[in-house]
Structure 1
Amino acid sequence: MTDTLTARILAGDVRAAGRLMRQVDDQHPGARAALDALFAHTGGAYIVGFTGNPGSGKSTLVNAFIRTCRQKGLRVGVVAIDPTSPYSGGAILGDRIRMQEHALDEGVFIRSVATRGNLGGLSRSTPALVQVLDAMGFDVIIIETVGVGQDEVDIARVADTNLVVAVPGMGDDIQATKAGIMEIADIFVINKSDHPGADRLRRELKTMMSLVENPPEDAWTPPVVHTIATEHDGLDKLFEKIEEHRAWLDAQGQEGARARRRIEHLIRLIVQGELDARLARAMGSQAWKQEMDALTERQDTPWRAAELLIAMLGGEA
């Protein structure tokens, strides 16, 4: 069954890919074997992350960027992360609805997933979903995050080029400072740049970049690109800047380093997921319930209880 599913995915079967992605997102144990088989076929895609505050037009910009990539003959996979529905546990917004113009394009595959409460702006399953799209042979993989903030910068660990999308008149200068996005932005995009304040926002971003102390001589300086996604204005320039960043990464030997970091991040998530599952089982055991009774009666301390819990985790094969 796994061999058949893997073969279908490698052949570009979107139904098979959708089935595996659903298993990955639901943490189905059967997904592991297929992911293992697909891993040797990954590493060829270029990953672009889109993040920014709600209302910045990220989805419209992604939609326009997909069109630009397709015009250049590139196949595009998209992982769009949405907030979690309190009712279904699934993606609440459904970015595929906002990208319907690509629904019948065999060169585009779009998957919406929910954060399910995960901090970092990404779903925990995102890196594995990217691996599936990579194995399918997509040239470009786009990740659109749910937002941006101090705890929502995980995209920097997954994407090769990170775009931070801002719009005039939304206090992005304040938000950018709070979120520390200077550390993750490879390219700043001022979307809706026909709105008042676009030039002011550009100056503010340039000023923020000038405040970086003692940057290396060969450091990448994030460019600021103006776009009007609804009119497809500025998208060719944006594509050009992404290509320039990719060339810089390659020249600096950083593209391989980012790929290594991406794999390490995936491993960390796999381990965290397993530890979380073991922790849940341990804390549901009778031994732990007895320990909690002892803690309630102050017959033990939280620190000794933590040691007990760690021992219980270590003893589980």
Structure 2
Amino acid sequence: MKVDGKKVFWNEYQKDIADDQYFFVRSCVRQNFFPGAEEAFIRILRNDLGKDLYNDPNHTTCTGIGYHVDLVKLETTMTVIARQFALMSEAGYRNFVISCVTSFGLYNEILDIWEKHPEIEEQVRDYLYRSTGREFKIPENLVHASDIIFKFRGQIAAKTQYKLINQYTGKPLQVVEHIGCHYAKMFPEKGIGGAEHPYVLAGLIESLGGEVIDYPERRMCCGFGFRQYIVKASRGYSLSCTYRKMKSMEPYKPDLIVTNCPGCNFFFDRWQYVISETKRETYGEEGNGIPVLTYEEVAALALGYDPWDLGLQMHQVAVEPLLEKMGVDYDPALKYIGFSGKQLSKPQIPDLLKVY
């Protein structure tokens, strides 16, 4: 997105992002699906950018998914989140960084409730103190982890070994960016660029040399939607949403999909396999799928991190075509070698979707 001509609109959707000293809360979903992504974020912040990032092993899930499917009461969720703030306060931090987009939306929802209904905040403070003996301060700065990568995209770009440039043609890679619904659709002012023109991923992609694709269903939900997937009978709705998105982007021949939401990342990746088995369709070149990466994985690849150390072999859609286009130096023989040095079990080969 080009901001020229949109200055008034753009200024309404800027946000303050702290420069340093971050208290990081991880995602229960991401740690299971793509654990290397969060580790990459920590390494980039600490090692490449020299930032103070505290990763507290005592923090827990925010209960967001349980809350959104009506399994966990709002009062319980608010008390759990109050405990996270207490851990931040006890550690001496005031800048709160959230890995999960669902959590990001939920934290902002609860802060909005407390601002409008301070009596509820006081009640939650009482719940927390009586149950744990803890007290908390409200964060001075609360952002999503993709905001941090966006903020330092220039510094990251200056350190990169690889760009989002096709080494064979010299042209920018064509990239679809997908923003998780809970990043800015709930509270547009909390997202860089708002809900209609979010720039948090587009800015990173452009800084690394890629070109962002604008396609008809760009702002449509991936279909996760909690109840749509967690209720087994509703999973067809989830799949149909992703299918519609894939068909919409297909004519533009994307080289890559980048997301900032663990659910979106999972479903764009996994549903491509399901679609290939049920609809006999693939959307990449020569029977490949379109690789789906998180913003940290893209930044880490550009910085020269080993793709297998990042855990890219955990993705359903093979990333090798992307690595080849970017010119990334990698060893195919190490793809399924574990940290112990032993060969891991290889996944079964799908009928249609290519894997390596």
Give the greater-gyration-radius structure (CA). 1
TM-score by length of 1: 0.26
TM-score by length of 2: 0.24
Greater share of strand: 1
